[in-house]
Structure formats: structure tokens, C-alpha cells
Amino acid sequence: MNNYIAQLNESQKEAVLHKDGPMIIIAGAGSGKTRVLTYRIAHLMQQGVDSFNILALTFTNKAAREMKKRIAEIVGQSEAKNLWMGTFHSVFARILRSESEKLGFPSNFTIYDTQDSVRLLSSIIQEMSLDKDKYKPKQVLGRISQYKNSLITVKAYYTNPELLEADRMSGRPKMGEIYKNYVDRCFKAGAMDFDDLLLRTNELLTRFPDVLGKYQDRFKYILVDEYQDTNHSQYLIVRALADRFENICVVGDDSQSIYAFRGANIQNILNFQRDYKEVSIFKLEQNYRSSQTIVNAANSVIENNQSKLDKTIWTQNDKGDMIKIMRTLSEGDEGRFVASAIFEDQMRHQLSNDQFAVLYRTNAQSRAIEDALRKKNIDYKIFGGLSFYQRKEIKDTLAYLRLILNPNDEEALKRVINYPARGIGDTTMNKLTVAANELNKSIFEVIENIDVVNLQLNTGTKNKLRDFVLLIKSFQAEAQTLNAFEIAELVLKKTKLVRDIEKDGTPEAISKVENVQELLNGIKDFIEVQKEKEEDDSLAVFLIDVALATDLDNDKDDKPRVSLMTIHLAKGLEFPHVFIVGMEENLFPSAMSMNTRSEVEEERRLFYVALTRAEKQVYLSYAQSRYRWGKLVDCEPSRFLEEIDEQFVQQIAPKQPQFKQNSFIDSDIFGETPPETVRFKKPIGVKRKEAPKPIKKASPVQGNFKRMHQVKMDIPEGPFATKLKVGNFVIHGKFGKGEVLAIEGNENDQKAEIKFENGEIKKLLLQFAKLKIVN
Ligand SMILES: Nc1ncnc2c1ncn2[C@@H]1O[C@H](COP(=O)(O)OP(=O)(O)OP(=O)(O)O)[C@@H](O)[C@H]1O
Ligand SMILES: [Mg+2]
């Protein structure tokens, strides 16, 4: 044990030592919120609280692991063992595993990841013969996710005229039916999607008071990190669980709330003081992470937000280097700039790759950065791409494992019933799906009864189906005695899956086989770790972990690498040197989020998060032109660049003023002393409208629904007007709101056929129509 209290300042100490009762710590970035939470847990344990009675909810699995490690260092490994720590999803997935039968789900329920959900929705939309352009599976899933996170069940949906109207207006009158089918199909398949993990937990705690009582008793102390990004569903779970003892400690920063688009509700912070009578409020103001320059620059940016709580951060750290702003010609140049700057910094200061992070607004931006880093042989790791577990060969293998535990898992079955090929084609699958829907059985159950269900299949097909069921059943029998690793090995051998991959003979095939091998290693690792921790090492637990794993969790590789990720993913993390790329209007702030003040404020908070990840140095870059939507567009520097107080920034320029595209000279990006120290200037002649205030204040619960069909006025013209697509909703000055049914003609005489709210259909010449897109 070490003297951890000595590692805290006075305000932090107060929060850590505070007695029982509800408490909230609201503080700016890098002020030690996460440290306080961690030490508070250690302290509680030292005061005799049983680790079994503590629940800590973090934003990532990785954060939970790090916290647990730190606590173990203070109180000892065996003491820390029983702590419940993890993300909302992982903690409640585990609870549901022991309670799901009460809700009619098998205990080995499957967790559908986004890919599974999208596939299921695709088939439902197809079975309902709906237009896939109107009902885009991903968008439909997003909408369902919003319902679920606001606790709107299918029944509640149908009794909510506002929602019905909103979906009707947005041209998706069948949303309710899709939602119902989706929920039914998941239920029949014994599957929960990500949002169900929260929704069903809420259901469990509401419908079964004894279960609620059990967990209320168990979790005498509840602590939540990044509270500003909890959604309504999460909020209710925490509230219910904390209701008995009210020993709830939440930490957050309203200035870092960046998930409103996914239903997070900044109100939860404000409500906290309303929900609990005697709340102790703590503020931390000293930042330990960043240089003075970075802290002050971040403060100057967030100043521009109207809606924020009153708090500041300051630091005793060194003044540090100025924030450097770099203008580049194109995204290619931007990539080269980043790679060269990293290279130079490394040469000058002997820094390793892992001291650097490149942050961007959208995943697509990584490509140019990756290309440039590869050219310079700088190792990097990209977070947020296709995670290991989402690769096809891995998903195929996992699908077999999922079926062993839960043969009703429809998505897993569809994935592998004919892979490797066994002659079970689409026609057969369609017949099976229809029969399953009619009989209200799973596809697997239909196949099990293939002799009694009259499906008009020939004997050959029936035999193939029977063989498949037998194969899965034989695995199930073996699973009684084999562990997760052995069963996975057996599956690979019997299904000849690896052989099927190898058949291809390409280099990709080799890497796919390696991936499958890596999966086996992963399972082996998992078993060992669980054994060591004396925790459940069953296949079921492995599959829960896998379903909820993100590639942020997967940092086994010990080679130091530059981290590449979106700003959203970087929340809570820190790096000595941070590049924030793509500082351009319509990219950051995003074109999708510039229509209301609250949207721009969320983008600004995102920028605040980005800046405050850095310890020593921030580089900001923007390109003068960039390929977007397949077209080269001129870019305007981001408004956020101007918002940084000028005393903290320095524009750096390439040494060769006239360098051409693709002729970038690596070692000469900027000299020892930057060529000039100038205030970033907005290009002359560019005018920008400040986003107006939202028209209507959204209610906390249904904020997002309102937002979806809320009229957004004053959208700047430009890429919007030319990007008009069929299915878009638009506002016309005279005719009001309408939906684009068709677009014809090109360039100057392009016309759109629009159906307006009053039922009239009009054909308008786009050049003059002054339409504003609203979705
Ligand atoms: N009293 C302290 N003395 C020294 N270092 C500290 C102290 N408090 C926090 N730190 C360090 O400062 C950094 C930021 O702390 P931490 O991550 O806990 O802040 P945070 O408020 O959670 O930040 P964020 O808002 O980004 O989540 C960490 O490296 C942490 O170890
Ligand atoms: Mg933190």
C-alpha cells in the first residue's frame, strides 16, 4: 500500500475522503476527476467497505481495467478482485446473464452487435417489401436505438402520437411495424442488441422489485465516471440502484458532453442536484495534464459556449509551447505534414511513437494520415476502424460458438448455415424464414422439425439441414466437457473453416488464417486470466466480452505506435503530443451539426475535448481543399481556429512558400524557429453566419426525437444545396416542409419534385428554389 492521499490536492482530498451520501464532482478536463474516483474507491475499501459492495461505471472497458489496476496497487490484488467495474453495457450484460430468464430470455442470450442488428433489419425490411432507400437499415437502427434509450417500447411508441407523426412526416410510416418485428425477432432469437442491455435492465429493475432490492443491497456504493454522457436509460438504472443507500458519486464535466447525438443528456448533471436532497458538490480546478498554454487556449474556446456551468481550470504546469496551426494544400499534404512533424519531433527530442496522437472528426480522415505515416515507416495504430472481432473470418468462427450456446441465434445461424458451403441456398433459407415467422419458432427449431413442417424441400436439402443441426448438437454435447478453447479448436477442425479460407491462396487468406489463430490465442488468454482472477471462464462470458470489446481495449501489441482515432474515442485519454487535423468548416464543425446553436456548441465541446487531451503540444491543421463526397471542394478554415485566444497560437508555414502538391520536403516543414509568429487569420472576404438558436427547447427525454423533425432554419447555402437527394426533407420559404421525391436535370436546370406538408407536389428549379435541407 502506498500513501495515495498524499498524491491529491486539497479539493481532491476532500472529495476522496467525503463521507457517505450523494455527491457530484463537476470539474474541467484533466483536473483529476478519474483519479478522485479511483482513489475514492480505494479509500472506501480501506475504510472497511467490502469490494463486493462497490460498483464503478466507466466510459470504456480499458478505463475500468486501468482503474482496477491502480486500486489493486493500493489495496492489493485480492482485495480488488470483487469490484464491479466496467462500462454500463458490460456490467449490465453480466447482471442480465443471471437474471434474463425472468424476462423470457435464455441465460446464454446472444448479444447482437451493430452488424448483426443491421443485417436483421435489412431482412425485415426486405420481408416487408419496403423501399430500402427510404428505410435505410442503419438509419432505422439509429431511430430504434433512440426509442430504446428513451425507454420507448413498441407499445409506448404506438401510444405516442408525436412519434407516429414524426415518422409519418419523415416518410417512414412503417417504423412502428419494423420496430415491433425487430423486437420480436430478437426475442425469438434469444438476442439482445446493445441498447437492449440497458432497456432490459431497466425492465428487470422495474418489473421485479425483489431483483432491484437484491442489487440495491449489493451495490451500496455506486460511482460513475463521465456522467455528462449518460443517456436517459443509464440515468434511470443508476437512480434505481442508488435509491436505497444514496451513496452515489458521479463525476463529470458539462463542457465535455459530446454524445447528445446518441441520446446523452447533459441535463442528468443538473438533475442530480434535484434528485437527491443533500448533495455535496465538489469542484476541482487545477489541471495536471496540460501546459498553461493548452489549458488557457481550451478555456478561451469554451468561453464561446453560452450554455455551460460556471467553472474554470488553471494549471501550475509550465507555460509550454504555442499551439501550432498549419495550413496545407490538400489532405495529402496534411498527412505529410503530420508525418513529418512527428518525425522531426522524434529526432529532436528522442520521443517514441506512443507519445503522439492524431485526432480527427470523422473516421474517413484517417486514410491520408495513414498513407503518410506508412511512407515514413512510422508505426501507428488506428482505433475505431473495423475491430478485430468484426472481421469476417472471426465473426464466422464466433457465429459457430454463439450457436452452440444459443441455437436460436438467427444472425449467427444465417451466417454459417451455408459457410463453409454445404448446399443450403437462399431459396431454402427464405422458405425456412417464412416458416419460422409463421410458426413463431426460430429457424433452428424449424429445421429440427423439418419432417413435420411441410416446406416442400427435396430429400437432399432436408438431409443437409439435418446434418447441420446434428453438427451443432454434437458441438453442444462436447461443450459439456470441453473448455472454450478446446471447443473453438474442435469447431474449426470439424467445419473445415480454416481450410476453406486457405483455399483462396491469396496473401489476404494467409492473414485471415492468422487472425483465426489469434482468436484461438485470445480464447486461451481469456481462460488463463479468468482462472487467475478466479472468475467465470465459460464460453458464455468470453462471448459477452467479445461482443462488447472495442479496439480501444485491444492493446496487446507492445510496439510503441502513434494513436489515430476520432475525438469521440479520445475522451478521458491523454497524450503528450496531439495533432487535430481537418480544422475546416463543414468538417469540424461538422456540416451535419451546424444548424442550431446547440449543435455548434456540441461541436465546440468536442474541440475542447480534443485540445485538452494534450499534455505538451497541440498541432492544428487544415487543408485548403479536400475530396469530399467524391468531389474536390475548397475548404474554409474552422471557426474554432479563430476562437482560440491569439496569444496561444502560432501559424507555422512551410519553408518553401511556393511548394507544389506532392513536392513536400519532409525535413523542411518548419525551421528550428518557426518562420513567423502570426495570428491565424480568416481568409478575406469569407463571411459566416453564426448558427441561430434552436427554435424549440427540446425536452430532456425526447430531445432527440424533437431534433430529428425540428425545423432548422438558416442553413448556410453551399454544399447543402448541391447535395440534395431523393428522400431529403427540405424547407421552402412559401410551401413549408416537404420531401424530395425525385431529382432530374443537371447543373443549372436541375429540378426537384417535392411533396409538401399540405399534400401538394411541386416541381421546383433548384437554382431558384432556395431550399434548405432539414435532415
Ligand atoms: N494531485 C495530482 N497530482 C499529480 N498529478 C495528478 C493529480 N491529479 C491528477 N493528476 C494527473 O493528471 C492527469 C489528469 O487526471 P485525470 O485523468 O484523473 O483527469 P480527469 O479530470 O479525469 O480528465 P478528463 O476530463 O480528461 O477525463 C492524469 O495524468 C493524472 O494522473
Ligand atoms: Mg477522466
Mean of all residue pLDDT scores within the chain: 86
Distance 572 CA to ligand 2 centre (A): 4
- The total of other beta-carbon atoms located within 10 Å of residue 215's CB is 19
Q: Among all ligands shown, which has an atom nearest to the Cα of 27?
A: 1
Least confident of 225-239, 279-293, 656-670: 656-670
pLDDT for 768 equals: 61
Q: Are β-strands 575-580 and 631-634 bridged in parallel, bridged antiparallel, or unpaired?
A: unpaired
Query: How far is residue 352's CA from residue 173's CA, in Å, rounded to a whole number?
Result: 55
What pLDDT, in 10s, does the model give residues 479-528? 999 999 999 999 999 999 999 998 878 878 888 898 898 899 889 988 98
To test the ligand 1 pocket, which listed residue (7, 16, 259, 289) has its Cβ within 8 A of the most ligand atoms? 289
Query: How far is residue 718's CA from residue 376's CA, in Å, rounded to a whole number?
Result: 37
Highest mean pLDDT, choosing among 439-453, 520-534, 751-765: 439-453
- The total of other beta-carbon atoms located within 10 Å of residue 14's CB is 15
- Whole-model pTM: value is 0.80
pLDDT for 659 equals: 38
CA-nearest residue for atom 13, ligand 1, is 289
By C-alpha distance, which of 244, 282, 250, 275 is closest to 53? Answer: 244
Least confident of 24-33, 704-713, 725-734: 704-713
CA-nearest residue for atom 30, ligand 1, is 32
Query: How far is residue 500's CA from residue 554's CA, in Å, rounded to a whole number?
Result: 27
Q: Among all ligands shown, which has an atom nearest to the Cα of 25?
A: 1
Report, as an integer, the average pLDDT of 615-630. Answer: 91
Least confident of 85-94, 383-392, 573-582: 383-392
Q: Which amino acid is at 743?
A: I
Distance 299 CA to ligand 2 centre (A): 17
CA-nearest residue for atom 27, ligand 1, is 572
DSSP strands (E only) in 60-164: 84-87, 110-112
Which of the four pLDDT bands, split at 50, 70 and 90, describes residue 656? very low
Q: Which residues are annotated as a binding site?
A: 27-34
Q: Which amino acid is at 405?
A: L
**How distant, in Å, are the alpha carbons of 1, 43, 220, 245 from that of 50?**
17, 11, 9, 15
The alpha carbon dihedral of 589, 594, 598, 599 has a sign of: negative
288 CA: nearest ligand 1 atom: 12
572 CA: nearest ligand 1 atom: 27
Distance 295 CA to ligand 2 centre (A): 15
Query: How far is residue 151's CA from residue 198's CA, in Å, rounded to a whole number?
Result: 9
What pLDDT, in 10s, does the model give residues 303-337? 999 877 878 899 999 999 999 999 999 999 999 99
Distance 30 CA to ligand 2 centre (A): 7
DSSP string, 473-488: HHHHHHHTTS-HHHHH
DSSP string, 14-66: HHHH--SS-EEEEE-TTSSHHHHHHHHHHHHHHTT--GGGEEEEESSHHHHHH
CA-nearest residue for atom 23, ligand 1, is 30
Q: Which amino acid is at 50?
A: D
Above pLDDT 70, what percent of the chain? 88
CA-nearest residue for atom 11, ligand 1, is 288
Q: Which residues are catalytic?
A: 33-34, 225-226, 256, 613
Q: Is 619 helix (H, G, I), strand (E, B) or coil?
A: strand
Query: How far is residue 416's CA from residue 475's CA, in Å, rounded to a whole number?
Result: 14
pLDDT for 504 equals: 79
φ, ψ of residue 761 in degrees (nearest 5): -110, 130
Q: Among all ligands shown, which has an atom nearest to the Cα of 256?
A: 1
- Which is higher by pLDDT, 706 or 61? 61
Query: How far is residue 686's CA from residue 343's CA, in Å, rounded to a whole number?
Result: 35
573 CA: nearest ligand 1 atom: 26
Report, as an integer, the average pLDDT of 5-22. Answer: 95
pLDDT for 364 equals: 86
Distance 279 CA to ligand 1 centre (A): 23
37 CA: nearest ligand 1 atom: 18
Query: How far is residue 111's CA from residue 194's CA, in Å, rounded to a whole number?
Result: 7
DSSP string, 655-673: SSTTPPTT---GGGSS-SS
Q: Which residues are annotated as a binding site for ATP?
A: 27-34
Above pLDDT 90, what percent of the chain? 66
What pLDDT, in 10s, does the model give residues 662-682? 333 333 333 333 333 334 444
Report, as an integer, the average pLDDT of 444-450. Answer: 96
pLDDT for 260 equals: 84
Measured in residues, the chain has a length of 775
Retrieve residue 319's grid coordinates.
507555460
Q: Would the pLDDT of 733 be above 90?
A: no
To test the ligand 1 pocket, which listed residue (33, 35, 615) has its Cβ within 8 A of the most ligand atoms? 35
Q: Would the pLDDT of 214 be above 60?
A: yes
φ, ψ of residue 651 in degrees (nearest 5): -85, 130
Query: How far is residue 381's CA from residue 354's CA, in Å, rounded to a whole number?
Result: 9
Query: How far is residue 316's CA from residue 295's CA, in Å, rounded to a whole number?
Result: 10
- Which is higher by pLDDT, 676 or 79? 79
Q: Would the pLDDT of 658 be above 80?
A: no
Query: How far is residue 470's CA from residue 614's CA, in Å, rounded to a whole number?
Result: 56
Least confident of 19-28, 102-111, 539-548, 564-573: 539-548
Burial-class residue 470 by CB neighbours within 10 Å (0-12, 13-18, 19+): exposed
Q: Are β-strands 614-623 and 575-580 bridged in parallel, bridged antiparallel, or unpaired?
A: parallel
Lining ligand 1 with CB less than 6 A are: 7-9, 12, 27, 29-35, 253, 256, 288-289, 572, 574, 612
Report, as an integer, the average pLDDT of 554-568. Answer: 84
Distance 307 CA to ligand 2 centre (A): 21
Query: How far is residue 508's CA from residue 486's CA, in Å, rounded to a whole number?
Result: 26
pLDDT for 455 equals: 87
DSSP count for the chain of H helices, then E strands: 32, 24
CA-nearest residue for atom 25, ligand 1, is 29
Least confident of 16-30, 31-45, 641-655, 681-695: 681-695
Omega before 420 cis (within 30°)? yes
Query: How far is residue 229's CA from residue 688's CA, in Å, rounded to a whole number?
Result: 30
By C-alpha distance, which of 266, 452, 449 is closest to 441? Answer: 449
CA-nearest residue for atom 15, ligand 1, is 32
pLDDT for 692 equals: 39
**Angle at CA of residue 394, ends 391 and 395, nearest 5°:** 80
Which of the four pLDDT bands, split at 50, 70 and 90, describes residue 408? very high
Query: How far is residue 325's CA from residue 176's CA, in Å, rounded to a whole number?
Result: 49
Which of the four pLDDT bands, split at 50, 70 and 90, describes residue 2? low
DSSP secondary structure code for residue 289 in this structure: S
Query: How far is residue 767's CA from residue 752's CA, in Å, rounded to a whole number?
Result: 10
Report, as an integer, the average pLDDT of 382-405. Answer: 89
Retrieve residue 689's grid coordinates.
453566419
CA terminus-to-terminus distance, the chain? 56
Query: How far is residue 108's CA from residue 87's CA, in Å, rounded to a whole number?
Result: 20
To test the ligand 1 pocket, which listed residue (14, 34, 59, 312) has its Cβ within 8 A of the most ligand atoms? 34
Q: Among all ligands shown, which has an atom nearest to the Cα of 225?
A: 2
To test the ligand 1 pocket, which listed residue (12, 257, 288, 314) has its Cβ within 8 A of the most ligand atoms? 288
What pLDDT, in 10s, does the model give residues 54-75? 999 998 888 999 999 999 999 9
Least confident of 227-231, 641-645, 752-756: 752-756
Report, as an integer, the average pLDDT of 716-735. Answer: 64
Q: Is 765 helix (H, G, I), strand (E, B) or coil?
A: strand
Distance 313 CA to ligand 1 centre (A): 12
Distance 58 CA to ligand 2 centre (A): 9
Q: Among all ligands shown, which has an atom nearest to the Cα of 30?
A: 1
What pLDDT, in 10s, does the model give residues 376-386? 999 999 887 66
Query: How far is residue 590's CA from residue 18's CA, in Å, rounded to a whole number?
Result: 42
Query: How far is residue 541's CA from residue 98's CA, in Å, rounded to a whole number?
Result: 11
